[in-house]
Structure 1
Amino acid sequence: MTEAQPGADALEAVITGMRAQEEELGSRVHADVADHVPSYRAVPLELLDEVWARHFARTLEVLRDGRVPASQEIDEAEVAHDRVARGVSLGDGLRAFRRALGAIRDLFIAEATRHGLDPLVVVDRTRALWELADAESLQIASVHREAEVSAALFDAHRRAAFLRGLLFGTLSAAEIHSGAAIYGLDPSRAYHAIRARSSTDSDAERLERLERPLDALCRAHGRTAMVAVVDDAVAGVVEARPAPGELAVTAGLGPATALGQVHRSFRTAGRLLDAARAYGLRGVYELGDLSWRVAVASEPELAELLLDQYLRPLAAEGEFGALIEESVRSYLESGRHIGAVAQSLHVHVNTVRYRLRRYEELTGASLEEPDTLIEISWALAARALRPARSSPSPRDALD
């Protein structure tokens, strides 16, 4: 130990001795951090040197004055944003910072011992170093979390923009391939477009709650999928038809197609969703499930015409008119087997024959004409649209 010096001189000698070892200590700290915090290997050395120099200078000022800077005097925002962008977690960032500060503290104690610095000053300045560590750690944590949130929001917006472009057919082939690689889609596979809403009337909050469980269902059994809130629905691309189970969802599933053509599948999925919701259905529906009923929901003018011709004339009969309609519906659903209709409605076959004959009298329709049977089926399907009404309105027509 050298001969003790007056307090101020000894402290300045300590700081001078530390400054002389700044570069060497920085190299050791970089190597130590690289060994113990592997994520920091992604940070270029010149950036580490820049941060080290700034941090070392700030530490020497604290040792000289014994004053810890106020939080607004410490600006580590740029560093935190850089580390987030390079995949360095908050925990790794704090570990690296504390290892660096620990090395500076050890150097200070060694130099203080060598120059005979007053032990009370050593204790005071060591306390100041840890106060500095606390202040910087708090700011690093705060800024790091803000940066992580910003990065997550940016990624979510970018992901949603890619999915929207995919579903609306606005992406080039190159954009589709690059986006598929980023988000884990396989351009060589066929995907279904899906468009879903809560089985209840959806609002934005319900859509947010639906997104995650639907995504999990679509990814079940190792299948790939990508869904997000798109306008008024949760939409995306899925490798296979999901089984909704207890999830309160109504969804349309378009046909499987290449990613570059999935916008066509999306249009079909939208029509299927609207039709399924119009009929008050729950679950995931493909075109084969709803068949021509999709067109009923999307052709309100035609539905009005057929309702006027085949069902509204029954209203004049009151309750008996409702029985006639029920019998006609059962007649068509049973494949035109009068006996089956009588059994299902618990009436005599002659009662069924009378109701069907009365239907023909009231509407002028023939239950023997194939085209007429199709039109009656259309009118009955239009009657079943939700909410209960005589026909769908133009407002409910598909986009």
Structure 2
Amino acid sequence: MPGQPGPAEPLERVIAAMAVQQWHVGGRLHPELADHIPSYRAVPRELLDQIWQRHFHRALAVVREGTVPAPEAFDEADVARDRVARGVPLGDGLRAFRRAMSAIRDLFLAEATERGLDPGLVVDRTRCLWELADVASLQIAAVHRQAEVASALLDARRRAGFLRGLLYGTLSAAEIHSGAAIYGLDPARPHRAIRAVPDGDVDPDAPARSLESHGRGNGRGALLTVLDETVVGVVEEKPEIGDLGVTAGLGPPTDLTAVHRSFRAAGRLLEAARAYGLRGVYDLGDLSWRVAVVAEPELAELLLERYLRPLEAEGQFGALVEESVRGYLETGRHIREVARGAHVHVNTVRYRLRRFEELTGTSLDAPDTAVELSWALAARELRTPPRGPAGPAP
């Protein structure tokens, strides 16, 4: 009828009334978020105002048009990155968004009721606002998770970059102290470099996390990552790894600014432990001079030629002689213990030892013979070839 308002006019009056109260409603909402969602206390008020304005204007558009935008129309990436950077969990972000949407729906219902908006239109637009909340929540969750993944990858790259520089000795003292503060390392305490490889074809990321977890505790610091398929990092103390399937070399304790030297030692220890087929974490105290056996193959070959190759010509008897000689050294030259372990008479052991001296032209009483023979026997134990590279050498 002429003079009677069209259906759009009452709706526009509701929208106009809502727009007038935008900042009044937002002003009540902000302290509610801080009270009920503690993580939002880290978000500055001006940022909250910006996102509130975005949500409010989008909701007014939905009330006016009666349609909800497609998910890809919701650009929440900047908000997601900000919340992730401030440590706001996804659940808290969704709770805050739902509170904002609830406030907008309540405002719409109040203004629509006061102005006598058609009940059917009220129901339809309320449904649209619910749908808007659902679609936006799914999109917020998706971009938040993407931002978390991106943040984690960036953090992993930064962590790896810091550790690479620390372990290869390319960081300044200022960079070391700055990184230590970020990653929970105490520059006043000595640290030990560690290099580890997992058993078999296991992804090294999981052992890296486990070793870091074992390295922490009781106020100790630890930081590990994976570089070139090798687990590397620093720990304050030798980690107890239980049944974790890794072989690791642990360098000596040193100041963080000199930990690159410990890293080089850790590489040699890892190489030696793997050569002997060992599992676990090994430092110089564990492997001692055996590290040099691996590092000096030419000398090892010379000593094998001098002390053990002459026994090979004796066949099975030569193997028995070698077994007795090995037991003689391991028991501290106690012939009776060697005989008891081999289930033979002591005179049999004496004969084998004397035959060893005849075949090699050496004396088992000579100090040099004990050292060189131990070296040759350790070289005999080496696994050949080793199971793979011990990681990049600095």
Counterparts of 1:191 and 1:156, CA distance in 2: 21
Structure 2 length normalisation: TM-score? 0.91
Q: Aligned letter for 1:293?
A: R
Contact 2:245-2:279 at 8 Å conserved across structures: yes
Structure 1 length normalisation: TM-score? 0.90
Q: Is 1:217 matched with 2:214?
A: yes
1:126-175 deviation line (CA, Å, top 9, x unaligned): 00001001011110011011111111121122122222222222211111
CA gap of 1:393–1:115, structure 2 versus 1, over 3 A, is closer
What is the Cα deviation at residue 188 of structure 1?
Answer: 0.9
For residue 249 of structure 1, what is the aligned residue in structure 2? 246
3-state DSSP of counterpart to 2:383: coil
Q: Is 1:12 matched with 2:12?
A: yes
CA gap of 1:177–1:22, structure 2 versus 1, over 3 A, is same
For residue 354 of structure 2, what is the aligned residue in structure 1? 357
Map 1:353-392; keep pairs closer than 5 Å.
353-387=350-384
What is the Cα deviation at residue 315 of structure 1?
Answer: 1.4
CA gap of 1:365–1:395, structure 2 versus 1, over 3 A, is farther
Q: Aligned letter for 1:292?
A: W
For residue 30 of structure 2, what is the aligned residue in structure 1? 30
For residue 336 of structure 1, what is the aligned residue in structure 2? 333
Contact 1:195-1:253 at 8 Å conserved across structures: yes
For residue 106 of structure 1, what is the aligned residue in structure 2? 106
3-state DSSP of counterpart to 1:197: strand
| RMSD between aligned residues | 2.4
CA gap of 1:36–1:76, structure 2 versus 1, over 3 A, is same
Counterparts of 2:227 and 2:343, CA distance in 1: 49
- Where does structure 1 lack aligned partners over 5 or more consecutive residues? none
For residue 48 of structure 2, what is the aligned residue in structure 1? 48
Counterparts of 1:306 and 1:235, CA distance in 2: 34
For residue 313 of structure 2, what is the aligned residue in structure 1? 316
1:49-104 deviation line (CA, Å, top 9, x unaligned): 32222222211111111111111222111111122112222112112211111121
- Where does structure 2 lack aligned partners over 5 or more consecutive residues? none
What is the Cα deviation at residue 340 of structure 1?
Answer: 3.2
CA gap of 1:210–1:151, structure 2 versus 1, over 3 A, is same
What is the Cα deviation at residue 283 of structure 1?
Answer: 2.6
What is the Cα deviation at residue 204 of structure 1?
Answer: 5.1
Q: Aligned letter for 1:76?
A: E
For residue 186 of structure 1, what is the aligned residue in structure 2? 186
Contact 1:274-1:398 at 8 Å conserved across structures: no
Q: Aligned letter for 2:33?
A: V
Of stretches 212-221 and 287-296 in structure 1, the one that deviates more from structure 2 is 212-221
Contact 2:230-2:390 at 8 Å conserved across structures: no
Map 1:195-274; keep pairs closer than 5 Å.
195-198=195-198, 200-201=199-200, 203=201, 205=203, 207-274=204-271
CA gap of 1:151–1:191, structure 2 versus 1, over 3 A, is same
CA gap of 1:204–1:174, structure 2 versus 1, over 3 A, is farther
What is the Cα deviation at residue 324 of structure 1?
Answer: 1.2
Counterparts of 2:380 and 2:227, CA distance in 1: 31
Q: Aligned letter for 2:82?
A: D
Q: Aligned letter for 2:370?
A: L
Counterparts of 2:133 and 2:337, CA distance in 1: 85
Counterparts of 1:146 and 1:57, CA distance in 2: 25
Contact 1:5-1:115 at 8 Å conserved across structures: no
Contact 2:194-2:235 at 8 Å conserved across structures: yes
3-state DSSP of counterpart to 2:313: helix
Q: Aligned letter for 1:176?
A: I
Counterparts of 2:196 and 2:329, CA distance in 1: 31
Q: Aligned letter for 2:75?
A: D
CA gap of 1:366–1:189, structure 2 versus 1, over 3 A, is same
Counterparts of 1:398 and 1:204, CA distance in 2: 19
Counterparts of 1:350 and 1:393, CA distance in 2: 42
What is the Cα deviation at residue 271 of structure 1?
Answer: 1.4
Contact 2:197-2:390 at 8 Å conserved across structures: no
3-state DSSP of counterpart to 2:193: strand
CA gap of 1:254–1:397, structure 2 versus 1, over 3 A, is closer
Counterparts of 2:209 and 2:186, CA distance in 1: 21
Contact 1:193-1:253 at 8 Å conserved across structures: yes
Of stretches 136-145 and 176-185 in structure 1, the one that deviates more from structure 2 is 176-185
For residue 124 of structure 2, what is the aligned residue in structure 1? 124
Contact 1:278-1:385 at 8 Å conserved across structures: yes
3-state DSSP of counterpart to 1:336: coil
Contact 2:270-2:390 at 8 Å conserved across structures: no
Contact 1:80-1:147 at 8 Å conserved across structures: yes
Contact 1:298-1:397 at 8 Å conserved across structures: no
Counterparts of 1:54 and 1:398, CA distance in 2: 51
Counterparts of 2:241 and 2:390, CA distance in 1: 25
For residue 80 of structure 1, what is the aligned residue in structure 2? 80
CA gap of 1:247–1:54, structure 2 versus 1, over 3 A, is closer
